[in-house]
Amino acid sequence: MAAPQLILGFDYGTRRIGVACGNTLTGSARPLKTLARGAALPWADIDAVVREFAPSQIVVGLPYNMDGTDTALTAQVRVFGDELQSRFKLPVALIDERLSSRAAEAELREARADGRQGKRTTHADVDMTAAKVLVEQWLRAQPQPASH
């Protein structure tokens, strides 16, 4: 049986980068934080998260239009993924992120409705929850070990 792996996920945006982690043992993920960004990417913050969690895999949401064509951000996200791979020498999976923000908003709405989240939902909440959705999507796509 393979050792459990920690997966770190990034939801790349022009204002914020949502971060989440998950693991292959439980097949679940959780939102971690949102990194604010300006014109330059917050590499010191990204470095700190990668050092703290020591993942074996990185997942990055790749934006597409609903018809499957590239968005204005698609090329930037590919460069971001390449830079993550180059800096950290880890595998980076680019995951189709269509509807991940909608799924995150629905999850947060449900958490508020049943009392798990009392506060108003912010853009940062949506970004890190979208990263969680991406990690869960990657985890579900992995081959399951044969049971005996």
Tens-digit pLDDT profile for residues 21-58: 999 988 899 999 999 998 889 999 999 999 999 999 99
CA-based torsion, 100, 101, 104, 105: positive or negative? negative
Residue range 62-75: mean pLDDT, rounded:
87
Pairing type for strands 28-36 and 57-62 reads: unpaired
Residue range 59-86: mean pLDDT, rounded:
92
Q: Provide the 3-class DSSP secondary structure of residue 60.
A: strand
Q: Residue 9 has what pLDDT?
A: 96
Tens-digit pLDDT profile for residues 23-32: 998 889 999 9
Tens-digit pLDDT profile for residues 75-133: 999 999 999 999 999 999 999 886 666 666 666 667 666 766 666 766 777 788 889 99
Based on its alpha-carbon atoms, the radius of gyration of the chain, rounded to whole angstroms, reads 15
Q: Provide the 3-class DSSP secondary structure of residue 139.
A: helix
Residue indicated by tokens 């609903």 = 66
Superfamily for the 6-141 domain: YqgF/RNase H-like domain (3.30.420.140)
Domain boundaries, the chain: 6-141
pTM: 0.84
